[in-house]
Amino acid sequence: MKVDCAFCTNVANKGRILFQTEVAWAFLTNQPIFDGHTLIAPQRCVQYFSETTMLERVQMMGLMDKVQELLKRKLGAQGFNVAWNDGPVAGQTVPHLHMHCVPRVPGDLAKGGHDPRLSTYRVIPERPIQSEDKLQEFAGFLRAK
């Protein structure tokens, strides 16, 4: 854990966890593009994909499968944008490696007005930070059987 890492030190992230393994975790982002936008990261604080172990990679991909299945079932997702920014020059703003899993449904651009495929290299100002209460309530809904 790094003291200056927003993922490691933000206790509120724990209330947004959807899945967790011994070395990886999946939690709702506080700046979602669309409802259900989930981050998947190693629990160990590393900045670059090249710093991850094979176990971390395998478990992160396994969590991606679980998150996508959950978002299909609970939100009707029919597709996903999946990406990570590997280093500051690639747009990484939090120095803790994380993959984005953004659920997509037909017509969602009309609601959100943002196409994540076009934002690889820039921060999107129209992504306001969501309230922790709302995010934790939504995480509870997603986790419910």
**Which residue positions in the chain have pLDDT lower than 50?**
120-125
Residues 23-36: tens digit of each pLDDT:
999 999 998 888 99
pLDDT of residue 121: 43
Residues 57-82: tens digit of each pLDDT:
999 999 999 999 999 999 999 999 99
Side-chain-side CA neighbours of residue 120 (13 Å): 9
Instruction: Let me know if 114 is a catalytic residue.
Output: no
DSSP code of 54? Answer: H
Domains of the chain: 6-113 (3.30.428.10)
Strands 99-104, 79-83: pairing is antiparallel
The SS3 assignment for 47 reads coil
Q: Which of 37, 98, 100, 114 is catalytic?
A: 98
Report whether 33 contacts 124 (CB < 8 A). yes
